[in-house]
Chains A and B, each alone.
Chain A
Amino acid sequence: MRSPRTSLLLLLALLVFCFGLAAQLEPQFQAWPGSRSTGDLFNVMLGDSRRLFANEFFIKADEYYHSGYYPTMFDDNAAFQTTHMAADTGAVNSRNHGDEHGFLGPTRNWIDAFGRHFFPDRHTHLDEGGASDDLSGSENVREILPWLKLSADLDPDNVQTYTVTAFWLRVRMNNPHEADAVLHEGLRHCPDSYDILFELGRLYSENYHDTDRARNVWELGVRKWQKLDPETKKENRLILEQLTIHLARLEEDAGDLPKAIEWFQAAQKVSLTPGVIQQQINRLQFKLGQEFNPLLKPLY
């Protein structure tokens, strides 16, 4: 029979051995290229399937944006092809068509008619008051944020999650600093994203009133967009239009009208409504002509 002291010493020796082994193996394990231990729990647990869940949570955020009034896989979801919370940011091409108010259609039978009293049956947006129709409660749009955060954690390469989160943080929550952090987090994961740069420019321009930084990031966004292949460019014309129009307005406010006209002309090339932009160009050209009028002295 061993004495308790021997057992204690043996236990201590084993602990020291375990600690030493762990200290020896840990750096090797971290350096091993096959290791999935990147510190990202979702990555380790779910692998690439996390992107699937990320999309589900993004849609869940849109469901919250509608206070639970959302089509299921059995309903007509033509009016929900693009999430409304993203479309309302103004930087996303909407593919929605059909009736967003009545995707449930006419009642099918008495069970269906009766059941509609027990779930949300009216189309509302959280930023417009939500279920209570109280416009003063538009900051309730904060309720979409947990799902967007989860979606961003699961799929850090999805640009839209960052831009949508930042837009609502900035516009409705009056929290530009958090929006700034979200966008920079997005830029770390997607350094070539012109969408994030566009949103960052809006933040600098509209919230921080820092036109120089806004100009820099928007111009960088235009350069990033120009590096795209022709097919991708065709699908992403809206963002270039937004970038160039914002740059044009910024230059106009700064008094550089020739530069503003150049940006409007760039926007006109990709716009679906070139006529409207032509009116802007005409207006600026007229203004430019007026500026030189005082220099012209009358002959008589």
Chain B
Amino acid sequence: MKNIFAVAGVVIKELYRRKDFYVLFIVTVLICLVMASVNIYNDAKIVRYLKEICLLLVWISSLVIAITTTARQIPAERENRTLLPLLAKPLTRAQLIVGKFVGCWLACGLTLLCFYLFFGALAASREHQWPLLNYFQAAALHWFMLGIVVALALLGSLVFAAPSSNSTICFVVVGGILFVGRHLDQVALTLREPVRTIVYAVYFAVPHLELFDVRDLVIHNWPLIPWLYFSLALLYALGYIAVFLTGACLVFRRKAVN
């Protein structure tokens, strides 16, 4: 565990040394403030459009940070020739993978904390209420979704040759799941065999990231998600994280590091 957290600590330090987060955060804040300054029929209580824009920017920023940070972890160690010395220490390959994952996931958690604090402040400035539990559910689901994405990008970084190709493929896959994942079974019904069976199998195989997108519930002030289903969703995410991390460990075990 100590080794894992040591590796994770380095990843977190790397995040706050790089400018990605600061740039994305400032851009998000600026866009939201500009949108908030728009006068809509002299009504200062209109807030939902602002919440939607802010959450959209938070989602885009968090995905960019999660994928780009994770995709370059192992390739950067290899390019800098620090991978071999790292593994020469009492650190197994599996510990390195898990350490990188924990670091990236915690880094995403820290960025989400900043983003959601800003979002809460922005919403409260107009709504004069702070539904903390709703925001907690949204942020927690978002963070666990990013866990799946981080694990996927980590596996991709071991399979694909370059971080750029890995990032691109991850963005396409994640975007695809978020946009059509919920409807893949309906799409399958319109297709002919054997494509129908393949698409149907894909529907059940892929992690349904759209489950974790509860922006509409937050924007429109819907009641809390029942805690049982909330917990089940977190377990669902943990299951996929475990699958992708196991895959990454298996691939990395056979990978030449020099």
Tell me the A residues contacting B by CB distance below 8 Å. Answer: 64, 67-68, 72, 74, 108-109, 111-112, 114-115, 117-120, 130-132, 142-143, 145-147, 149, 169, 173, 175, 178, 182
Binary CB contact string for chain B from 166 to 179 against chain A (1 if under 8 A, 0 otherwise):
00000000000000
Which residue, A68, A109, A142, A146, has most C-beta atoms of chain B within 10 A?
A146
Q: Which of A72, A74, A117, A145 contacts B43 (CB 8 A)?
A: A145
Q: Which of B49, B220, B232 contacts A120 (CB 8 A)?
A: B220
In the complex, B64 has a CB within 8 A of chain A: no
A-B contact pairs, 19 of them (CB 8 A): A72-B183, A74-B187, A111-B185, A111-B203, A111-B208, A115-B182, A117-B225, A117-B229, A118-B212, A118-B214, A118-B233, A131-B220, A142-B43, A142-B45, A143-B48, A145-B41, A145-B43, A173-B41, A178-B41
Across the two chains, which residue of chain A brings its CB closest to B225?
A117
Q: Which 4 pairs between the two chains have the least Cβ-Cβ distance?
A: A68-B216, A67-B220, A74-B183, A146-B49
In the complex, B194 has a CB within 8 A of chain A: no
Find out whether the CB atom of A149 lies under 8 angstroms from the CB atom of B41.
yes
Closest chain A CB from B45 CB (angstroms): 6
Find out whether the CB atom of B42 lies under 8 angstroms from the CB atom of A118.
no
* Chain B residues, Cβ within 8 Å of A64: 48-49, 220
Q: How far is the CA of A56 from the CA of B139 in the complex (A)?
A: 28
* Chain A residues, Cβ within 8 Å of B223: 131-132
Chain B residues 1 to 54 lying within 8 A of chain A, measured CB to CB, are 38, 40-43, 45-49
Q: How far is the CA of A127 from the CA of B141 in the complex (A)?
A: 30
Q: How far is the CA of A145 from the CA of B46 in the complex (A)?
A: 8
Which residue, A74, A109, A182, has most C-beta atoms of chain B within 10 A?
A74
* Chain B residues, Cβ within 8 Å of A169: 41
Closest chain A CB from B50 CB (angstroms): 8
Q: Which of B185, B225, B232 contacts A109 (CB 8 A)?
A: B185
* Chain A residues, Cβ within 8 Å of B217: 68, 118-120
Find out whether the CB atom of A131 lies under 8 angstroms from the CB atom of B208.
no
Closest chain B CB from A33 CB (angstroms): 33
Closest chain A CB from B199 CB (angstroms): 13
Tell me the B residues contacting A by CB distance below 8 Å. Answer: 38, 40-43, 45-49, 141, 182-183, 185-187, 203-204, 208, 210-214, 216-217, 219-223, 225-226, 229, 232-233
* Chain A residues, Cβ within 8 Å of B41: 145, 149, 169, 173, 175, 178, 182
Find out whether the CB atom of B43 lies under 8 angstroms from the CB atom of A173.
yes
Known: A118-B213, A178-B41. 17 other contacts (CB 8 A): A64-B220, A67-B221, A68-B216, A72-B183, A108-B185, A117-B229, A118-B141, A118-B217, A118-B229, A118-B233, A120-B217, A120-B220, A131-B220, A131-B223, A143-B49, A146-B46, A173-B41
* Chain A residues, Cβ within 8 Å of B45: 142
Q: How far is the CA of A182 from the CA of B42 in the complex (A)?
A: 12
Q: How far is the CA of A32 from the CA of B40 in the complex (A)?
A: 34
Across the two chains, which residue of chain A brings its CB closest to B182?
A115
Closest chain A CB from B142 CB (angstroms): 12
* Chain B residues, Cβ within 8 Å of A145: 40-41, 43, 46
Find out whether the CB atom of A118 lies under 8 angstroms from the CB atom of B219.
no
Q: How far is the CA of A169 from the CA of B42 in the complex (A)?
A: 11
Across the two chains, which residue of chain B brings its CB closest to A73?
B183
Across the two chains, which residue of chain B brings its CB closest to A119?
B216
Find out whether the CB atom of B186 lies under 8 angstroms from the CB atom of A115.
no
Find out whether the CB atom of A130 lies under 8 angstroms from the CB atom of B46.
no
Across the two chains, which residue of chain B brings its CB closest to A139?
B45
Which residue, A115, A118, A132, A178, has most C-beta atoms of chain B within 10 A?
A118
Find out whether the CB atom of B49 lies under 8 angstroms from the CB atom of A147.
yes
Q: How far is the CA of A185 from the CA of B226 in the complex (A)?
A: 47
* Chain B residues, Cβ within 8 Å of A111: 185, 203-204, 208
Q: Which of A120, A132, A147, A175 contacts B216 (CB 8 A)?
A: A120
* Chain A residues, Cβ within 8 Å of B219: 68
Across the two chains, which residue of chain A brings its CB closest to B200?
A109
Closest chain A CB from B168 CB (angstroms): 26
* Chain B residues, Cβ within 8 Å of A147: 49
* Chain B residues, Cβ within 8 Å of A143: 46-49
Across the two chains, which residue of chain A brings its CB closest to B203?
A111
Q: How far is the CA of A118 from the CA of B142 in the complex (A)?
A: 12
* Chain B residues, Cβ within 8 Å of A130: 220-221
Find out whether the CB atom of B221 lies under 8 angstroms from the CB atom of A131.
yes
Q: Which of B43, B211, B221 contacts A115 (CB 8 A)?
A: B211
Q: How far is the CA of A35 from the CA of B182 in the complex (A)?
A: 46
Closest chain A CB from B129 CB (angstroms): 12
Q: Which of A67, A114, A182 contacts B232 (CB 8 A)?
A: A114
Across the two chains, which residue of chain A brings its CB closest to B137?
A118
Across the two chains, which residue of chain B brings its CB closest to A126?
B220
Closest chain B CB from A220 CB (angstroms): 26
Q: How far is the CA of A147 from the CA of B40 in the complex (A)?
A: 10
Q: How far is the CA of A231 from the CA of B47 in the complex (A)?
A: 43
Across the two chains, which residue of chain B brings its CB closest to A178?
B41
* Chain A residues, Cβ within 8 Å of B187: 74
